[in-house]
Amino acid sequence: MTTRRDFVKQSAALGAVTLLGDRPLRFRYMGAAPMRILILGGTGFIGPHLVRHAVSRGHKVTIFTRGRRQADLPNEVERLVGDRNGQLDALVGKKWDAVIDDSATNPDWVRQSVTLLKDNVSQYLFTSSTGVYYPYLKRGRDENDPVRLEISDEKDGSETYGVRKSQCERLTLEAFGTGGIAVRPTYIVGPGDTTDRFPYWPVRLARGGETLAPGKKDDPVQIIDVRDLVEFMIKLIEEKRSGTYNASGPRGTLTISQFLDQAVAALNSRAQLTWIEDYDFLEAHKVTYAVPWVMLKGNNLGHTSIKNDRAIGAGLTFRPLATTVRDTLAWWNAAPAARTATPRFAITPEIEAKALSDWHALRG
């Protein structure tokens, strides 16, 4: 039986191997002057990757969390405990070169932290989302497109999330001016994923057999490997850049058909893909997304067509998709059975079996 301690050790070992994927590790690389970096968060999905990469670059890292979640982090990381909901005493009177806000979806949290820190910090990077572009009524959105700052339908969770993120961005950029940065990731994937969204595909393809492939084969998809994201974020503060960046990948257009073909090849999978391109059929069978694929219609028409030219120009790079797929599966297989026995996958075996059966019956 795998214990929590065993899992932490396994995760640490895997993290050392997969932190940079196919790239050589760059521990203590001093290409940039050492900085004092405060990370608001640091123990979720992005956080541990962000902390480890910053330390590997020679920076001194402090994290601020509620202290409720453990993460395998370098021993030299300073840990401060508090709560974004007004309990910021641990930050009072301290100075850092840069702050990376990795835990806020509530504008009130950002308002409190930027007010407290704006005179003691030179740069503030807010981790936003391409969700600020919701509703995605057209394709090809970029950083020049306006975003919504007011909620029109509180029952629409996607709109509420996007508006709150855009409000957080505005607070950051107004408070810090040229020291303010907003990074808008698309679907974040890779080892340590807490959402169970992307892991579905490596796990399902590794199992093999007839596999439901949803969507039109030319539907575009977008993801960003968490390790590419954190490298980009650290690069931005090292180079003292400012402004807003869409952190979406890959470099060019990737369709769901190309994604699945590359994932199958990466895993040497024996999965046989059965394509179902009929949106109405898929929707009737509760298959509306399987990240990186989402059903591209209505408010989601341009969801996976966000432009990334500005971020690429600022140094955003992408590791091979095969690396992301293999590393995600390796991480998943090393997790405790209690974590993987009841995954929150969008397509369950029951949903898939019913859809495939009805599809074959419909087609005779």
**Model confidence at 183: pLDDT above 50:** yes
**Model confidence at 16: pLDDT above 80:** no
- The conformational region for residue 21 under phi > 0 = left, psi -120 to 50 = alpha, else beta, is left
Instruction: Summarize pLDDT for 277-318 with one digit per residue, the tens.
Output: 999 999 999 999 999 999 999 999 999 999 999 999 999 999
pLDDT at 11: 46
The helix/strand/coil state of 276 is strand
* Cβ density class 310-324: b for 16+ within 10 Å, e for less: ebbebebebbebebb
pLDDT at 32: 74
Q: Are 189 and 198 in contact (CB under 8 A)?
A: yes
DSSP string, 199-251: THHHHHHHH-EEEEEES-TT-EEEEEEHHHHHHHHHHHHHTT--EEEEE-EEE
Q: What mean pLDDT do residues 111-119 have?
A: 97
The helix/strand/coil state of 253 is strand
- Residue 28 tokens read as 């203590």
Average predicted confidence (pLDDT) for the chain: 92
Query: What is the C-alpha to C-alpha distance for residues 135 and 162, in angstroms, rounded to an integer?
Result: 9
pTM above 0.85, yes or no: yes
Query: What is the C-alpha to C-alpha distance for residues 28 and 280, in angstroms, rounded to an integer?
Result: 53
What distance, in Å, lies between the first and last C-alpha atoms of the chain? 46
Instruction: Summarize pLDDT for 171-181 with one digit per residue, the tens.
Output: 999 999 999 99
**Model confidence at 144: pLDDT above 90:** yes
Q: Which residues pair with 189 in a beta bridge?
A: 225
**Model confidence at 1: pLDDT above 70:** no
DSSP class of residue 122 equals: E
DSSP string, 137-201: -SS---TTS----S-S-TT-HHHHHHHHHHHHHHHHHHHHGGGEEEEEE-SEESTT-SSSSTTHH
CATH class, domain 4-358, is: alpha beta
* Residue where the block lists tokens 């974590």: 339
Domain ranges across the chain = 4-358
pLDDT at 31: 61
**Model confidence at 18: pLDDT above 60:** no
Instruction: Summarize pLDDT for 26-77 with one digit per residue, the tens.
Output: 444 456 799 999 999 999 999 999 999 999 999 999 999 998 888 889 999 9
| 262 to 49, 198, 256, 321, 336: CA distances (angstroms) | 25, 15, 10, 7, 28
Cα 260 off chain centre by: 19
Q: What mean pLDDT do residues 234-254 have?
A: 97
- Residue 29 tokens read as 């690389």
- Residue 163 tokens read as 């508006």
